[in-house]
Structure 1
Amino acid sequence: MASSIETIQKILQETIAPGFSRLENELAGVKVDVSSLQSEIRRLNDKIDSVRSELKAEIHRLDDKLTTALEIRERLAALEA
């Protein structure tokens, strides 16, 4: 009985163990890829935040110009009246 168990263990080690080893290696590669993607996502998020800040600043500048233009128009209208 012991030799049958040993034989089964040997068969399992020869057939299943290499598969597990390959899966472990592939999983390690996937982890590296995921980590790389996470870094890229963080980098892109930083760029998006930067563009968002620039866009907000530009909108505020345009809003200030529009406010000034409206004030000038109102003053001109008052002078004409």
Structure 2
Amino acid sequence: MASSIEAIQKILQETIAPSVSRIEIELAGVKADIKSLQSEIKRLDERIDHLDDKLTTALEIRERLAALEARVAAH
């Protein structure tokens, strides 16, 4: 009976263990890819925030210019 259990353990180690190791290696690669994507997303978020600030400033300038033009036209 003990030899049967040992044989089953050996078969499992020979068939499942390498697969688990390959999965762990692939998972590490996926984690690295996710970190890289997160870094790129962070940079894009920062650029979008910067563009949002510029757009807000441009809209404020446009509104002020329109108000000044209206005052000039009224005189």
TM bin (shorter chain): over 0.9
Aligned to 2:73: 73
Structure 2 stretches lacking a partner, 5+ long: none
The runs of 4+ residues in structure 1 deviating greater than 4 Å are none
Larger radius of gyration: 1
Give 1:7's aligned amino acid.
A
Deviation at 1:74, TM superposition (A): 1.2
Aligned identity (percent) is 51
Cα separation, 2, equivalents of 1:38 and 1:2: 51
In structure 2, distance between residues paired with 1:2 and 1:40: 55
1:12 aligned onto 2:12? yes
Structure 1 residue 5: Cα displacement: 0.3
Q: Please list every run of 5 or more consecutive structure 1 residues that lacks an aligned counterpart in the other structure.
A: 76-81
**Aligned-residue offset at 1:32:** 0.4
**So what's the TM-score if we normalise by structure 2?**
0.97
Tell me whether 1:29 sits opposite 2:54 in the alignment. no
Distance 1:8 1:74 in 2: 95
Q: Residue in 1 aligned with 2:63? A: 63
Q: RMSD value over aligned CA atoms?
A: 0.5
Q: CA deviation at 1:41?
A: 0.4
In structure 2, distance between residues paired with 1:57 and 1:25:
49
